[in-house]
Structure 1
Amino acid sequence: MQYVIETKRLCKTYGGRTVVHNLDLHVPQGCVYGFIGPNGAGKSTSMKMLLGLVHPTAGSVALLGRTLTERTRLELLRQTGSLIESPSGYLHLTAQENLEIVADLKGVPYKDIDRVLEIVHLQADRKRKVGQYSLGMKQRLGIAMALLGSPRLLILDEPTNGLDPAGIQEMRALIHDMPDACGATVLISSHLLGEIEQIVSQVGIINHGQLLFEGPLAELQRHSRGNVVLRLLAPDRGAAVLRRYGLTPQPADNSCLLPTMEDARLAALVQDLAAEGAGVVGVERQTKNLEEIFLSLTNTQTGKEVG
């Protein structure tokens, strides 16, 4: 498989404190990759090392199939767009004027500005001063700047941070379409899995500078499954069926709290309960939060499966 980003034992230490420890990232071409972890987990430092903004203490970075060095950095960054921390831009200038400045810096013709403004849906506001923009519009302008020159790789650090629900939904739709609309592979970071799990296909989870998980989103979702809440009209009739499945339900009002289980087993259980006349009126999967997923992953790595 061809990786657009590949790191090997990447480390960063500040004053004796290790912020990133032996990070091995593998970002496949053409995907949206979610880089997830709580605030302070090492996401931003890792992304800055990918862009050559921070020098690693140890390890290596390869972008677009080439090792990132002082000699190759400029050429690789010409093919890479980024939005790190807050979007930049001169507030007293219009979006058009800001993009012209970036185009000059990148050596990109002004005609590319029309293309990126259309992608981020800011054509109608190109003549407005950026100081009049909402946060969501500023974030989209930041992405437009990153898209100038048709980069093959986009690195976006928490682009939904601080946005209202409508802005988050708009940003999700924008990033989800990036590989098809622009041909770019996208690495997006977030401290909230729920905010970006609808748009990513690959996931890396980092905590305390260490990568706990990397792989397809579907595989991560197996770790995120929590208990099952089962609502029955006649719980007494369902008790024998549950025992046959080796389950000891924990009563919760008129509901039963069951441990997590695979979809096929849950479907068979519901069918058997219905046949017994237990009256299944609700089945709800509880989802673990990110901290619980961390615990599950950490214990899985040490040989103990949680939940």
Structure 2
Amino acid sequence: MDLRHLRYFLAVAETRNFTQAAANCYVAQSALSQQVARLEKEVGSQLFSRTSRSVRLTAAGELLEPLARRILTDVDNARAALDALSGLRRGRLRLGLIQTRASLVDLVEVMADYHARYPGIDFHVTNAPSSEMAAAVLTGDLDIAVVGLTPHQIPDGLDHRVLADDPLVLIVPADHALADREVIGLADLPDTHQLIQFTKGTGLRRQVESAFARAGVGPGQHFQVGQIYDMIRLAARGIGVTVVPRSTVFGPGSLLGQNPGDILPYGARALRLTDAAATHTICVVHDSKRLAPAAAAFLDVVAGHAVKE
């Protein structure tokens, strides 16, 4: 089985379009179609159901897709292992990074440190919700990912290392009924509160929803914002309340650059939560059964940046 055939097959499976797949692979559509036809002849089954309007995977195609991905990933890893014999001087790292811009783990410094040690390794960085990136590591589409998931939220079959536990804080406007509190339970929020939530599927969103569940209450009325900085500013302006990692508000590298004694914009308050389990846990996840040398090296570097207790 020609590896090129598998790559062309996956290109069509991803785009559901032969023309786009050919463009992505930098080949003529006729050449790609011929190679896919040869693969179908070799496996003895039609892989795509084609009409004038659509291209769909057949049952055989759906069976082959994850196997083809794993085969190509294993081949890439074998090549990377051979590269490692020459001192990891070249290669590729498909890296997933959490969407939050600020955290207790400075991922920019991690990447800079890694690049200084292994300048020949090319980064292919993906920013997506944590659950999606963990699933991509499991399927082999990513080599390694830094995610905002707790250990029990990580899919079976993946290995993990906790890098940091960042306490969550509640941001309320200055005129909020609870603004004079230092510590608060989420169950103390008024039933009419409006919650500003982070993107669905992200680790932070899952941690906030878990904190509300432990408090025995629902998140109430809420709406979604894709930037934590905007969530904090909206809460400060009285649009609602929000729950964010403490490091996004206070300390070096925080979005607001605040010190613990500083006053937040518009007099907003950051209240500690009574729930000690309410944290934004940051883990690095990988599959130890197929850990490429470039990914293993990244794992060592990021472990050196983990927040010590």
TM normalised by structure 1 equals 0.28
Instruction: Return the structure number with greater strand share.
Output: 1
TM-score w.r.t. the length of structure 2 is 0.28
Bigger RCO (CA 8 Å, 6+ sep): 2
